[in-house]
Amino acid sequence: MKPTIYDVAEKAGVSIATVSKVINNRGKISEKTKKKVFEVMKQLDYQPSVVASALTGKRTQTIGLLIPDIANPYFAEVAKSLEKSAQKYGLGIVMCSTDSDSQKEADYISLLLRKQVDGLIIASDIQNMNLIEAVIKKGIPIVLFSVDNPSLYVNVVTVDDYKGGYQATEHLIQKEHKDIAIIVEKNKDSSKYRFQGYMDALKHHHLEIKQDFIKYAHSDISESRKVVDELLSMKNKPTAIFACNDLLATGVIQEARKHNLHIPIELSVVGFDNTILAEISDPGLTTVAQPIEEMAKYSIDLLVDEIEQKSTKRQRIMLLPELIIRESTTVFK
Amino acid sequence: MKPTIYDVAEKAGVSIATVSKVINNRGKISEKTKKKVFEVMKQLDYQPSVVASALTGKRTQTIGLLIPDIANPYFAEVAKSLEKSAQKYGLGIVMCSTDSDSQKEADYISLLLRKQVDGLIIASDIQNMNLIEAVIKKGIPIVLFSVDNPSLYVNVVTVDDYKGGYQATEHLIQKEHKDIAIIVEKNKDSSKYRFQGYMDALKHHHLEIKQDFIKYAHSDISESRKVVDELLSMKNKPTAIFACNDLLATGVIQEARKHNLHIPIELSVVGFDNTILAEISDPGLTTVAQPIEEMAKYSIDLLVDEIEQKSTKRQRIMLLPELIIRESTTVFK
DNA sequence: ATGAAAGCGCTAACAG
DNA sequence: CTGTTAGCGCTTTCAT
């Protein structure tokens, strides 16, 4: 049998209360007994039970992570960074891919609640706001990662999507492009801000906004290729395309190749997120990078602070994106 | 406060034992009180505490997943499929990226043990065998996913890597290639079997095995490109390359482009794993697919059976890989 | 500085 | 069919 605190107490010749105290480093315990207890713990290979400890009101040392799809490279990267930060606190992460499905979202939230996770990181667009509000009401700390919802009083960590969209577009403008199209990801809040940045960049530089150049697609290669095909089939086709994420941008590159358009000479393209797709894409994809590691660190720190009730105030942290210039963009002549 | 079983019992006018029984559907309870109890549970929005239930010897409804790196598309896909199967059983998955680092592996295993996870799925090459043996000794069910270790008495689910390597190579041979190089992933057990399959395919078809055509690289684009550069710089260069995973294959495609070699006309390439990289690669990458979903299903089923002690025997399930033919391979003339 | 004892929320005999 | 009760392993007063 797994040794319990009783075994340790008995073998060390002290009470379980004492053992508990040395484990948690509480109260006054003489160096001598402390040493003795540690010794016995080692001998017995004793590991305190998180379960039992959680039952007495302590933490479960587990947090839940809600994401749409772990197989999406962006979210995989997010999960990885969050995990890295969480590990420093000895927190385990329960991964919950919702598929943006409200039933799965509900199921997972219910599971997490029954498990009494210490907190939640939500990185997927919320399907059912009532559910989240209920969680907040129960006092479970929450951090929204890269999603925002002004109506919720919670910690939020995002990248400045508006500025990212602006930067991407301005980069193309500086390369003397005037006919810049955009592919917006459907049903995605962050994409709206990126789009807004695109619009404003054009406006500020007094460039005409062409409705035909604004396309919408779900985050899917073939949908992307479809709208790119439309774009490239126009008599006055764009000389540059800003895709609101790297997957969409990959579709642009593929379709351009099919149309025998050289990238970046005949068509420049910018993506968003700086995922592995941007790296391995050929030519390398110019894209807007989110400081994911840093965002993850802030998220975990905020969550832990709230869990440990070190802070009662909620924060909204917005970090700056960074344009990563690769080979998919150049001056238009 | 969160309602407890006492609140439900009181409000329903029964004992907590009765409530417990209806929750777990045990013993004989009259339909009438059953109904009454369910009613009250709904009213109170009562959710049984997994923590308390786990303390009384039941399950924690959590399993641990050890993988090297969730940001690697193959493992992300694995995690996704496992999660999908686990969800059907109401199991949460704690994600543990070990980075193939033995310290992290040890830390995570210790955390999982303290959390009393119901079982473990190991999808990363084991760093410290003693640790795993200790886990087994404690009676924690384990399934090895896509890794094998003959010395352990545990459930194993893998793909037939040998056959996959054989198929990939034979596919190229059938396309009349005679000079087929291979890039083997370093420090990876599964890669050895794939390599073995390559060797045997060449032998069986009476093709010469050229030592110069056998290259090793870590799973990394630039390492791959480096060895491909060597290959393509040879006077008698290969007409086809089998890369032991899709990332390495992506490196092949990029470097071939740099050498102005047309794929597949001048160089055919085959990958392994059928990740998103193979899909988005341009041209589409012919690759060997692992039946990940099915493997995941078997893994979870085996694990659950062992957890519930339905079966005391361990199994080794080896599924067949499937060659997915895309545009990166063609007949050599 | 240390220990006795009362829970935490639930399960599982065992009685009735 | 339903209830009583003794834990599960740990934390936390409150005494000593």
B278 pLDDT exceeds 90? yes
B95·A83 Cβ contact <8 A: yes
CA of A282 vs C1' of C7, distance in Å? 64
A26 pLDDT exceeds 90? no
Give the whole-angstrom CA distance, residue A122 versus residue A112: 12
Q: How many CB atoms lie within 10 A of CB B153?
A: 11
A114·B60 Cβ contact <8 A: no
Which residues partner with A158 through β-bridges?
A318
User: Pairing state of beta strands A214-217 and A180-185?
Assistant: parallel
Q: What is the mean pLDDT of residues B17-36?
A: 89
Calculate what percentage of chain A has a pLDDT beyond 70. 100
Q: What is the pLDDT of residue B102?
A: 94
Residue of A nearest to B225 (CA): A280
What residues of chain A lie within 8 A of the CB of B113, using their CB? 47
Which residues 214-243 of A are in CB contact (within 8 Å) with B?
221
A280·B114 Cβ contact <8 A: no
> What are the φ and ψ backbone dihedral angles of B326, each rounded to 5 degrees?
-120, -140
Calculate what percentage of chain B has a pLDDT beyond 70. 100
The mean of the pLDDT values for chain B is: 94
Q: What is the mean pLDDT of residues A124-151?
A: 92
Cα–Cα–Cα angle for B261, B262, B268, nearest 5°?
Answer: 95
Is residue B332 very low, low, confident or very high in pLDDT (cuts 50, 70, 90)?
Answer: confident
Is residue B307 very low, low, confident or very high in pLDDT (cuts 50, 70, 90)?
Answer: very high
A27 pLDDT exceeds 90? no
The partner residue sitting opposite B52, judged by closest CB among A49, A55, A73, is: A55
Cα–Cα nearest to B267, from B324, B213, B208: B213
Cα–Cα–Cα angle for A158, A160, A163, nearest 5°?
Answer: 170
A148 pLDDT exceeds 90? no
B260 pLDDT exceeds 90? yes
Q: What is the mean pLDDT of residues B279-305?
A: 95
Q: How many CB atoms lie within 10 A of CB B100?
A: 16
Q: What is the mean pLDDT of residues B234-244?
A: 97
Give the whole-angstrom CA distance, residue B183 versus residue B177: 16
Residues in chain A: 333
B48·A115 Cβ contact <8 A: no
State which residue has its Cα closest to the C1' atom of D8: B56
pTM: 0.92
Cα–Cα nearest to B75, from A79, A109, A90: A79
A309 pLDDT exceeds 90? no
Q: Are B160 and B139 in contact (CB under 8 A)?
A: no
Q: What is the mean pLDDT of residues B137-154?
A: 92
Q: Tell me which of A312 and A115 has the higher pLDDT.
A: A115
Give the whole-angstrom CA distance, residue B219 versus residue B244: 9
Q: What is the mean pLDDT of residues B224-244?
A: 97
What ranges in chain A are assigned the alpha helix state H? Answer: 5-12, 16-24, 31-44, 50-55, 73-88, 102-114, 129-137, 161-174, 189-204, 221-232, 246-258, 276-280, 292-307
Q: Tell me which of B206 and A125 has the higher pLDDT.
A: B206
3-state secondary structure of B146: coil
B57 pLDDT exceeds 90? no
Q: Are B81 and A17 in contact (CB under 8 A)?
A: no
**Residue B282 has which token pair?**
């341009």
Q: Residues A272-308: pLDDT tens digits?
A: 999 999 998 988 999 999 999 999 999 999 999 999 9
A20 pLDDT exceeds 90? yes
Q: Are A65 and A119 in contact (CB under 8 A)?
A: no
Query: A92 CB near a chain B CB, below 8 Å?
Result: yes
Give the whole-angstrom CA distance, residue B133 versus residue B103: 16
Q: What is the pLDDT of residue B284?
A: 93
A71·B276 Cβ contact <8 A: yes
**Residue B293 has which token pair?**
């979903």
Strand D lies under 7 A from the Cβ of residue B116: no
What ranges in B45-160 are assigned the alpha helix state H? Answer: 50-55, 73-88, 102-114, 129-137
CA of B12 vs C1' of D5, distance in Å? 20
Q: Own/partner pairs for A132-137, CB < 8 Å, 24+ apart?
A: A135/A109
CA distances from A176 to A53, A203, A265, A274, A315 (A): 63, 15, 12, 23, 40
What residues of chain B lie within 8 A of the CB of A116, using their CB? 49-51
Q: What is the pLDDT of residue B26?
A: 85
Q: Residues B97-127: pLDDT tens digits?
A: 999 999 999 999 999 999 999 999 999 989 9
Give the whole-angstrom CA distance, residue A20 versus residue A36: 13
A62·B110 Cβ contact <8 A: no
Q: What is the pLDDT of residue A171?
A: 98
Å between A286 CA and nearest CA of chain B? 17
One DSSP character per residue, B229-267 reads: HHHHTSTT--SEEEESSHHHHHHHHHHHHHTTPPTTTT-
State which residue has its Cα closest to the C1' atom of D12: A17
Q: What is the pLDDT of residue B285?
A: 97
**Residue B120 has which token pair?**
């473990």
Is residue A214 very low, low, confident or very high in pLDDT (cuts 50, 70, 90)?
Answer: very high
Give the whole-angstrom CA distance, residue A271 versus residue A293: 19
Q: How many CA atoms lie within 13 A of A227 on its CB side?
A: 25
A57 pLDDT exceeds 80? no
B29 pLDDT exceeds 90? no
3-state secondary structure of A121: strand
Residues in chain B: 333
Which residues 132-171 of A are in CB contact (within 8 Å) with B?
138
Which residues partner with B272 through β-bridges?
B288
Q: What is the pLDDT of residue B265?
A: 95
Q: Is the peptide bond before A283 cis (omega within 30 degrees of 0)?
A: yes
Give the whole-angstrom CA distance, residue B147 versus residue B126: 8
Q: What is the pLDDT of residue B325?
A: 97
